[in-house]
Structures are given as C-alpha cells and as structure tokens.
Amino acid sequence: MEQHKMRIALLGMGTVGTGVVKLLREHYEIINMKTGLNVEVAKVLVRDASRSRPGLEDLPLTEEVNEILEDPSIQIVVELMGGIEPARSYMVAALRAGKTVVTANKDVVSEFGKDLYDAGDVGDAELYFEASVGGGIPVLRPLKESLSANKMQKVMGIVNGTTNYILTQMSQFGRPYEEALREAQALGYAEPDPTNDVQGFDAGRKLAILASIAFMSRVKPGMVYTEGITRITPRDIEYGKRFGWSVKLLAIGKEVDGQIEARVHPAFIASEHPLAAVAGSLNAIFAVGDPVGETMFYGRGAGAGPTASSVVGDLIAAALSKRTPGRRAGDACTCLFHKQVMDIGQVVSRYYLRLSCADQSGVLARIAEAFGAEDVSIANMVQGSGGPDREDTGEDAELVLVTHSVLEAKLQAVVRRLQSIPEVLAVENVIRVEA
C-alpha cells in the first residue's frame, strides 16, 4: 500500500492524551497496514514540560502553542485539554490555519460548534469530535454517515456513566442515593464535586451535540431541559419495579411536528427496553430513524482506552481525508435548519407521582378531583404503607399514581392543585415514564 506520512500535534497530555499516544504506538502496524498512514506525533502542548512522564520521555513537548499553530508541516491538531478556554481559541486558530481539528471536548463542541465549523470553512480544515459523546462508542459518525439517508425521529441515550453507576447500585442493592454516590466517588467514577454529572449538565451537553446532528438544527446546552438524579429514592425504584420499569437518567431528543424536544431527566422505562439492560458505568444511545427503525450503540462512555479509540478513529479519518483533497460531506456541518426547541411544558409524557396523604376518608376523592379538573386521566394507582425507607405510622398513607400521556403543563397544574389539598402532606416525587 502507498505510504503517507502525517504530522500531527496533541494539545494536552492527560488521561486521554496519554491513551492516544499509547494506542498510536501499540497499534502502529494495524493502522499502517489498514491505511498506509505513518502518523508522527510532531509536537505535544503541555503546561509543564519539565514534569516527569514515565514512558513518554521521548515525546516532543512544548509549552508554546504557536510552535504548533505556526508549523505548516503539522496538518492535524488533536485537542485533549478539556474546558472552554484556551481550548476553544486554540481550535479556532488551528482551523483558521488550515489544520484539521480532532477533539473530545463536549463543552466547546456543544456551545461553540458553529464557530469551529466557520473557522474551518475559511481553509480546507475539517472538524471531528466522535469522542465528545459516548467516549469509545461510535455514534456521531454513524449518525452523520451510515444513517445519513434517514430522517431521524428520536435519539435517547444513557450518556453519563457516573449517574448510571449510581442508579444501578440503587436499583440492584436498594442503596440510598448518598451512599451510592460515595461509593462511585471512592471508585473514581464520580468527581469530588459531582454536580456536573448528577445534575445532568454533562448529559445535557452531549444531548445538545446528538440532537444537533440527528435533527440537522443547532441545539445548544442552554436549550436542553435538565433535571438530575438527586431526588430519586430506593422507594421510587421499588414502586417502579412493581410496574415493570427501571429508572435511568435519559438524554432524550425527538422531532415532533417540525419542533425539537431536548431533555435530560431521570425516567422510568420498561424493563424490556434495550436501554434498561445498560448497567453500571456503561453508556448506550438508542436511535430511531426512517427507514432504518430502531438502532442502538453501546459501550464504554469514558476511560483512556475507549476514548482514545474514538480519537484515533477520527484521526485516521481526518488523515485519509487530508490525503485525498476535497471535503467529505459527512464531516461538514449539517445544521441546515432552524427548528424550534420546545419548552418542557409542551412535552407529552406519562407521569409517576408518589404522594404522602393523611389516612382519612374522602382524600382519594379530592385527589381524583385535582386530576379531573385538569383533564388528566389516571392509568394506575397503588396504595402503600411502610416499606424499606419509610415507617408505617398508621397516620398517613402513601399513594402512587401513574397517568396516561398528558401535556407536562397540565401535569404541573395537577401538582399545584395537589399541593393545595391539606390532606396531601407532600408530593414526594414526580418521575416521567418514557413510553
């Protein structure tokens, strides 16, 4: 096979950067045999070049980004620093200089994707970001390329391993949220400050990227309705099991009548749904298109090796594209429409509600009245008392209600009505039920 040398630079040499260098070295022959590429790491930007990096002593380190940006022999820049700045500025500068950029940075891609594409349009640079969603799972390029003939209807994913690990522990062992979180932190699955993960912000950024690609219209993180997992209790999970459901933090994107739904929140799904089987820190993205129907992409959403697999896959695609001049349609921006992102109040879903009520006659009738007043019909009801995390005092009762599909705004109106009934002591939880 004809041999081609490709000089690349890395920005950042942390977990993923180290994984990329290792993979390029260990699988050099496989890559070369398949593609004829001879990838040379020409420069690596680090903050402190004097720091000891065992096994990586021979890397050509620099603390000066212009040594990369101004070197015309470097054709591809791989950004693995993370964060918004200076990563965004360095990527824009590289693209403007005609260098293709490969990145794993969901923060920059979700918020500034258009700026990056615009910067690349000036020259013949391209942008690749497979690792920014789902770590090692190939999903963005399959959506852009393999499924490009489809009209996508839905993308629904478990795209945050930390929260999936916590919810799995809660479901399998009945652990309360705080205990499962502490365990996830001890194992390194959760950060010391877990806010980004447990409040759904990380999943929101990934959904923004997924939805933008699936529905060909830019969705930014601020447009995604986001709700975290901190209010989920083992009690809700137990009730869910009685109905044949599992709870997951879902990132849901849909196109409905030309508008986009983009939301991240915990939801019950049927235990037979393929996403219900995605346990621990694993990720999966379920995508539905016309005419392909249902597809699912499954695997490791993080970690040095899996993420490096996606980055190097992008790097190879980028290098092959550089070798053959002329942009490949799959790597161009496909946000060609301006579709409205729906307010959460316009979303239609089924809902699970768990109420604490005074154990008195007539309460049920008042609750039913609240639902009736908003024209929300109840599909199922279970009366409970006591349980694993609740003592049976005999003075109050627990009521779990499941609605038929209803507009979220109507359900919120029902919740307000319930909160004004003196015998309803608390609306303990409201969880969406995804069909």
Ligand X SMILES: NC(=O)c1ccc[n+]([C@@H]2O[C@H](COP(=O)([O-])OP(=O)(O)OC[C@H]3O[C@@H](n4cnc5c(N)ncnc54)[C@H](OP(=O)(O)O)[C@@H]3O)[C@@H](O)[C@H]2O)c1
Residues 6+ apart with CB under 8 A from 220: 110, 111, 208
Q: Distance between CA atoms of 59 and 242, rounded to whole angstroms?
A: 57
Whether 62 and 46 have beta carbons less than 8 Å apart is answered as: yes
Rounded least distance, CB 249 to ligand X, Å: 17
Q: φ and ψ at 100, to 5 degrees?
A: -75, 140
Rounded least distance, CB 48 to ligand X, Å: 6
Residues 6+ apart with CB under 8 A from 235: 354, 387, 388, 389, 390
Whether 197 and 166 have beta carbons less than 8 Å apart is answered as: no
Whether 137 and 299 have beta carbons less than 8 Å apart is answered as: yes
Which residue out of 43, 106, 206, 248 is catalytically annotated?
206
Please say which residue, 82 or 176, places its beta carbon nearer to ligand X. Answer: 82
Rounded least distance, CB 309 to ligand X, Å: 11
For 61, the enclosing helix (H) or strand (E) is strand 61-62
Please say which residue, 161 or 234, places its beta carbon nearer to ligand X. Answer: 161
Rounded least distance, CB 161 to ligand X, Å: 9
B/e letters for 371-390, b = 16+ CB within 10 Å, e = fewer, are beebebeeeeeeebeeeeee
Q: φ and ψ at 243, to 5 degrees?
A: -90, 0
Of 25, 44, 28, nearest in space to 36 by CA: 28
Rounded least distance, CB 82 to ligand X, Å: 3
For 358, the enclosing helix (H) or strand (E) is strand 348-358
Please say which residue, 192 or 326, places its beta carbon nearer to ligand X. Answer: 192
Please say which residue, 129 or 215, places its beta carbon nearer to ligand X. Answer: 129
Whether 20 and 59 have beta carbons less than 8 Å apart is answered as: no
Of 191, 206, 193, nearest in space to 129 by CA: 206
Residues 6+ apart with CB under 8 A from 199: 226, 228, 230
Please say which residue, 137 or 344, places its beta carbon nearer to ligand X. Answer: 137
Using CB positions, name the residue nearest to ligand X: 14
Whether 11 and 78 have beta carbons less than 8 Å apart is answered as: yes
| Helix/strand/coil percent split, the chain, to 5 | 40, 30, 35
35 bridge partner residues: none
Rounded least distance, CB 211 to ligand X, Å: 18
Whether 158 and 139 have beta carbons less than 8 Å apart is answered as: no
Please say which residue, 46 or 414, places its beta carbon nearer to ligand X. Answer: 46
Q: Is there a catalytic annotation at residue 206? A: yes
Q: Do β-strands 37-45 and 4-11 pair in parallel, antiparallel, or remain unpaired?
A: parallel
Rounded least distance, CB 16 to ligand X, Å: 4
Q: Which tokens go with 155?
A: 């993308």
Please say which residue, 105 or 246, places its beta carbon nearer to ligand X. Answer: 105
Question: Cα(first)–Cα(last) distance of the chain, in Å?
Answer: 51
Rounded least distance, CB 351 to ligand X, Å: 33
Contact set with ligand X (CB under 6 A): 12-17, 45-48, 80-82, 86, 104-106, 131, 135, 302-303, 307
Q: Which residues are catalytic?
A: 206
